[in-house]
Amino acid sequence: MEGRDKCRKLMKAFRSNPNNANKTPLSVLNEYATRLNLQLTFSEEAESKTGPFNIEARLLTRPAGALYARGSGRGRGKKDARQAAAAAALEILLESVPMSEFLQPGSRFRPRADTGRARQQPPRPDNLPAGKRAATADAQVAPGCSKRPAGYSNTQGAHQRGGGAAAAYHGAARRFASAHA
């Protein structure tokens, strides 16, 4: 981080707090990008497979993809080059953004509930009211099994009759065609 006085000062401010002692320029830049709903991308070039590596960090606006800030870094390894690129991007950002913007905890923008990455878990039967427990217990699928396909009863009947899946398909197709003719 030679010549990156503003970034060095920012990192020193972060590390003065025991909770942030392990912060790196890359982690600070990533948190800033997340807080402002920016996309952080990297492009890399190497003179050989073993390095040295030249990496460019770019902060892009969403969804348009307009360039918000960028910085380039060089290092013996990819990790070093990424850190240097993040430090360069922070240095450029610190020219126009106050340091307090990077030091504040939390998120400025709260993601909507439907855009989160966490998968919503279906309600468990033991958490439901007594009247709904039996209905959901029957409808659950065992772990590792997929849900039944549409027309499951037709397929089941064909297998029991020995007709196989093809017979079930053709039987269902015939019933569909006659119902919609």
Instruction: Find where tokens 């990077």 sit.
Output: 102
Question: What does the pLDDT average to over 20-27?
Answer: 80
Q: What percent of the chain is modeled with pLDDT above 70? A: 55
Residue 63 has what pLDDT? 83
Q: Could you tell me the residue range of the domain that residue 94 belongs to? A: 5-109
> Which strands form 38-46's sheet, in the order they lie side by side?
38-46, 53-61, 67-75
CATH of the domain at 40: 3.30.160.20
Domain-embedded: residue 142: no
- The whole-number pLDDT of residue 121 equals 45
Backbone angles phi, psi at 176, to 5 degrees: -65, -45
Indicate whether 101 and 29 sit together in one domain.
Answer: yes
Band the pLDDT of 54: cuts 50, 70, 90.
very high
Query: For residue 61, what is the DSSP state?
Result: E
176 half-sphere exposure, CB direction, 13 A CA radius: 9
Q: What is the mean pLDDT of the chain?
A: 69
Among candidate residues 109, 127, 159, the one where a domain is terminated: 109
Query: What pLDDT digit, counting tens, does each position of 99-153 carry?
Result: 777 777 654 444 444 455 544 444 444 444 555 444 433 434 444 444 444 454 5
